[in-house]
Amino acid sequence: MEVLTDVDEARIAALLERDEFFWLDLHDPTSEAFARVGGMLRLHPMAMEDTREFGQRPKVDVYESHVLVVFFTAKRTESADPVARPIEVHVYVSGDFIVTVRQDPCDLLDDLHGALVPEDNEAEDYLVYRILDTLTDAWYPVINAIESHVDGLEAEVFARARREQLSRIYRLRQEVREHHHLVTDQRDHFEPAAEAIRNLAGLTRGAKEYLRDVGDHLMQISGEFHRQYEDLASLAQTYFNANADRLNQTATRLTVVGTIFVTWTLVTGFFGQNFGWLVRHVESGTDFLIFGIGGFVLPTVALGTLFWVKRRDWF
């Protein structure tokens, strides 16, 4: 299969004349260049209008001689916010060609150019599968990257819950939700897309399991994003529980200290009543040590012993 990366009208015309299946991969083509491609390949004006206005949702549009599939892959950003960004690819499939149009760089498709050239598989739908499968499998490294961030956040929360962790959890949860919605829409639209591709006139067919495999991968990816979304919801709850537990520990310490100070206040208040007997008999330093200091030490020791014995039940 011949792979083209620019609008070479002579080569395209020759390939169409020989009825040779080819792949045209266009990265951010000009409006004029794309119009020339559309005219040569007889792309439907409505389909071309969608491609001129990127920012579509996953969908499949079936026309008389070709199918337009708005497909999404993803690329890691090597940062924590966001972990990855989606890449929108418009895929035109007919019995004579496959055209991919994208505005953003996509190393996956660039690397696939050389890999598909020596392919000796004559089933053209297999070549379509290779492109769609490559775009789909790019989501797996994204899942692994998000999983690493979730594990790191979980370890931080268990070590010590901090306010900034909650904002990171919510931002990551929002990103996962967006990826999940995107992949789920893509999964729901892929089965009719695969059926439309298999029914294209002039497209040689191999095993029907090829495109089914892409649908299976989309189901797995959607399930993984759903699981990660639930994990992040649980992690947010864990954060609140950890904060509540830390607050309870602080309140417990204050309660212990407060109980001791209440006892000391009771002792000092009693000796401050100026009872006649106390005034007449507490005169020496020994009396002060016995009645005054002893009045502090004995309750403190008793309370400290009680708290120590009950520490596992109360704290």
| Pick from 188, 175, 160, 147: nearest CA to 81 | 175
Strand partners, 2: 22
Domain boundaries of the chain, sorted by first residue: 2-243, 248-314
List the structure tokens of 185.
């829409």
- SS3 state at 61: strand
Please tell me the distance from the alpha carbon of residue 153 to that of residue 171, in angstroms, as a whole number: 12
Q: How confident is the model at residue 309 (pLDDT cuts 50, 70, 90)?
A: confident
pLDDT at residue 118 in the model: 57
Instruction: Tell me the CA distances in angstroms from 30 to 42, 120, 172, one per residue in order.
Output: 18, 33, 35
Give the mean pLDDT of the chain: 86
| Pick from 60, 14, 35: nearest CA to 200 | 60
| 8-state DSSP, 199 | T
Say what the alpha-carbon torsion angle 142, 147, 152, 154 is, to the nearest 10 degrees: 140
Q: What is the pTM of this model?
A: 0.77
pLDDT in tens, 32-86: 999 999 999 999 999 999 999 888 999 999 998 899 999 999 999 988 789 999 9
Instruction: Tell me the CA distances in angstroms from 304 to 168, 263, 294, one per residue in order.
Output: 42, 12, 15
Q: How confident is the model at residue 120 (pLDDT cuts 50, 70, 90)?
A: low
Say what the alpha-carbon torsion angle 131, 133, 139, 141 is, to the nearest 10 degrees: -90
Side by side, which strands form the sheet with 66-76? 2-4, 22-27, 97-102, 84-94, 66-76, 59-62
Q: How confident is the model at residue 122 (pLDDT cuts 50, 70, 90)?
A: low
CATH superfamily of 2-243: CorA soluble domain-like (3.30.460.20)
Q: How confident is the model at residue 117 (pLDDT cuts 50, 70, 90)?
A: low
Please tell me the distance from the alpha carbon of residue 38 to that of residue 101, in angstroms, as a whole number: 12
Q: Which residues contact 227 (CB under 8 A, 6 or more apart)?
A: none
pLDDT in tens, 237-278: 998 888 777 777 777 777 778 887 887 787 777 776 767 766
pLDDT in tens, 135-174: 999 999 999 999 999 999 999 998 888 888 999 999 999 9
* Greater model confidence, 308 or 128: 128
List the structure tokens of 220.
């797995």
Dump strand ranges (E) for 77-130: 84-94, 97-102
Q: What is the 3-state secondary structure (H, E, C) of 146-180?
A: HHHHHHHHHHHHHHCCCHHHHHHHHHHHHHHHHHH
